[in-house]
Structure 1
Amino acid sequence: MRVEDLDMDRVRAADGVEARQLADLRALGLLWDGAPVRQSERLDAYRDAVASLPTYECFCTRREIAEAASAPHDGYRAYAGTCRDLTDAQRDARRAERAPAIRVDARGARFTVLDEHAGEVTGVVDDFVLVRGDGQFAYNLAAVVDDVDAGVTHITRGADLLSSAPRQAWLTSRLGGVPATYAHIGLVTNARGERLAKRDGAVTMRDLGGYPADVLAALSDSLGLGPCRSTEEALAAMPGDQRFFSGVRFDGAALAQEPATASTISTT
């Protein structure tokens, strides 16, 4: 279990958000080995990883990056390498104006990953950010360092992150790890069929009435396994071959007002 808390502010941390999330997972029967690993406690590992890579300082603003980059792909704008070849004098001048981000110098590398849905996916590795201008380690760095240290072999996540896989797998190999096998699956959407987001409101186990078996039954039913009321039952219902869903529509408001059913969480 990894707690990705680099962006968690002190107010939320003190409010017990992590404890409630872990309690909800346990209530659903989703357990893990050992104590949770918190990214906020692994900063030295991230520093060591950055020190082992070819990097350069970047002073570009988001607007400058958007103007210099090609059209965004899945919402991501590849960096054009604007600051890669700055002179020492130019860096000194810009450093006086703003704190730099640290980018990896990938030199236009290309990398191929294996995805259970899409097959082989090859992408160009742009010079992505390792350390933000505020000194915070970037997700692309921290997640990969953690995956390498944990020996992660399979990654299942949303289809919107497929284009990031070659970039992260390349970094995995540069850090001495073996790239994982991926399965990018359909996103969870709201009642209107739009990507589920924070604006749709936070839905916790308590918001849903506090009945883990009902919630688990709805989740498993949305995957075509039937309304399983325990993780053991859901595992037994899984087919022998690997099967992935294309997406799930989630109506949190309806689910909070009635017992969890397939009518409030459904496969799309």
Structure 2
Amino acid sequence: MTAPEVEILSRAHALFSGRQAVGVLDTAPAVASSPREGLPTAYHRAADRRRTELDGARRVDAEVSAILARVQRDHREAQRQTRAVLDAAHADAAATPDNPVAQRELLRRRAARLRAQHAHVLAARRRARRRLALLRALGYRRGQRRLPAPNSRAALAVRAALSRLGCPYVWGATGPDRFDCSGLVKWAYAQAGVPLHRTTYDQINDGIPVPRSQIRPGDLVFPHAGHVQMAIGNGLVVEAPYSGANVRISRLGSDIAIRRPA
């Protein structure tokens, strides 16, 4: 066993060392209080609205708690997998090949361990990105405040794009189950009856330019010339990001161009 191999395997395992302490959110349903005699109707209406908001918040908290529990399980599984690979390397430490065949076999095992550790780290990162996308989606649901009118074309396009969360990115695809970046926004706006050009390089000329301070849900966001996203409000966008990823919610960038379809 060579020192570089142990060092590499140990660094990978250290990414998942320690214990993840995640609190549990209170998701108990709100207790309905009996109406108080003599209070105005407006009070009861306001109380009902507040109770509905609290119930919605608790449902989101329950989903957040479930995601965090999965994060903990992911962490423990990655810790177990990378520990097993490192233990196998330590167990191989006493191997002293005394012929070319044994030496090749030892090298094969070392290469296999490095590949396995690399695969474990990549899988953990993919799971972490999926959990983050789910949390951002919940944050979007919880924080909706400046959405366009429910039946506006922008709102219909936003809802259409969000309905595709989790669909895979495929270059050149335009839906309905796989998309590239421009294919997603074109498909979403088509559901609202608004035609857009096919490619990012043409879509950047669709509609009218909008300053960042006036961005609204449904606006097309261009972090660079070769990529387009759709604003959904609360500093977030929905996008088909790149090959190997799925349609997801991401944060709005700072250096962007924005167009509002007419």
The answer, yes or no, to whether TM exceeds 0.5 is no
Range class of TM-score, shorter chain: under 0.3
Radius of gyration: which is bigger? Answer: 2
Q: Whose helix fraction is larger, Structure 1's or Structure 2's?
A: 2
TM-score, scaled to structure 1:
0.24
TM-score, scaled to structure 2:
0.25
Q: Whose strand fraction is larger, Structure 1's or Structure 2's?
A: 1
